[in-house]
Amino acid sequence: MGWFTRPPPPAPGALLARPDPACTFCGIVSGRVRASRVYEDPQALAFMDIHPAAPGDLLVIPTLHAAGLEDIDGTLAAHLFRVVHLLVRGLRRSGLPCEGVNVFLADGEAADQTVFHLHVHVFPRTADDRFRLEVEWQERSRADLDDDAARIRAGIARSGHRPWHP
C-alpha cells in the first residue's frame, strides 16, 4: 500500500491488539517499513513525516492499530498528548527553525484523514512559512453556542461519562 492510498475507514471501535498488515503505520511500528524514529515507548511512536510541511515535521501514533480517537481509551489519548508535549519541547530546543508549533489531528474521512491509523501531526512553524489553514471563521450567537455546548454534553453522557456542569 502506498503512503497516500486511501482504504475505506474501519468501523468505529476497531482497536486491534495486533498490527493491521495493510497499514503503513503498523509497518513502521513493526520495522517492516523504514522511518526516522524520534521517540518510542510501548504505547507510542514518533517519527519524521516523509512529506514534511517543514523540517522537523513529526507524526505521533499509538503502537496498536486504531483508526481514530474514538478507538482508543482516555489513558492512551492522554499518553499520546504527553508525547506530543515532549516532542514540542524537543523541537523548540533542536536548532531547527521553530518559532511556534501547530498540533493537528485529522479524525475520519470527512476530516481528510488519509492514513486510517490514528496520528497526530506536530508542525514546527516560523513567521514566514507558507503553512496556512484556510477556514472561513463564522461568528455564532451565544444562544447557538450554548445549544451546541448542551448537545455535546449530552453526547458525552451517552458515551458513558459525566460531563462537566457549571
**Which positions are annotated as active-site residues?**
119
* CA pseudo-torsion sign 106, 108, 114, 120: positive
Q: What angle do CA 64, 66, 69 make, to 5 degrees?
A: 125
CB of 106 closer than 8 Å to CB of 113: yes
**Residue 102 φ/ψ, nearest 5 degrees:** -110, 140
CA distances to 3, 67, 99 from 118, rounded to whole Å, are 14, 5, 26
